[in-house]
Amino acid sequence: MLTTMKTHPFTDAMVKETQRESRYTTLALRSTTFDFMLRSVSRRTIRVLRKSRVNLRHTVMLALVGWYLMVPFSAHGEWLKCDQQTVRHADAEADTLKTWQAIHDSFLRYRKCDDGAIWEGYSYSVVTTLASRWDQLPSLQTLISHDSSFRDFVFRHIDATMPTEDLAAIARNAERRCPTELPKLCAEIRRKALDAETQH
């Protein structure tokens, strides 16, 4: 004959309390993780999402998961080397740069932090310099001829996060106002701007 074991009411209460605390701990960890991820999304992106009434939480999670899967593991390591103070300085500076020398200097200081809002800030500086200060192109050529990593940085930031009118202005500049000694650079810039424009 099988004997049914009865648990003491006090034991049942302790088990239930432990399970309840475990659930609270899990929810707290999830909330803390999401808050950290949400702070990594740029303020500009959040404003756009709110205006379009997109589910912000769902969109943020999908975007960050996609970024993590697409970016090489070594790049995640580079991002983790940025402390909060460095990130704040880079974010404050990234979209205020008006010369190629200033952009290059900032790139050397903060290239390990080039992501999220900082990425958008650098894209703004790169694209507006090419669109509105085209006469500085020889300075860009001088810098990238000595620093190929800066060249890659500049071309990465001619991207679809920027307005189509700025990308179109870059393409026109490259086609109509190219210095005679820089046809290859102009062709590369024009191709990159047109590619970014088609992604809108």
The DSSP code sequence of 26-80 is: HHHHHHHHHHHHHHTS-HHHHHHHHHTT--HHHHHHHHHHHHHHHS-HHHHHHHH
Is residue 82 domain-shared with residue 66, that is, in the same domain? no
Is residue 24 domain-shared with residue 101, that is, in the same domain? no
Q: Say if residue 10's pLDDT is above 70.
A: no
Query: How confident is residue 37, by pLDDT bands cut at 50, 70 and 90?
Result: very low
Write out the residue range of the structural domain in which residue 172 sits.
73-200
Structure confidence by residue, pLDDT tens digits, 75-114: 444 445 789 999 999 999 999 999 999 999 999 999 999 9
Q: Between these two residues, 146 and 8, which has the higher pLDDT value?
A: 146
Is residue 106 domain-shared with residue 152, that is, in the same domain? yes
Burial 78-96 (b: 16+ CB within 10 A, else e): ebeebeeeebebbbebbbe
Domains: count for the chain: 2
Is residue 32 domain-shared with residue 124, that is, in the same domain? no
Token pair of 21 as six digits: 């605390």
Residue 187 lies in a domain: yes
Last residue of a domain, one of 54, 70, 86: 70
Structure confidence by residue, pLDDT tens digits, 142-184: 999 999 999 999 999 999 999 999 999 999 999 999 999 999 9
Q: Report the helix count and the strand count for the chain, using DSSP H and E.
A: 11, 0
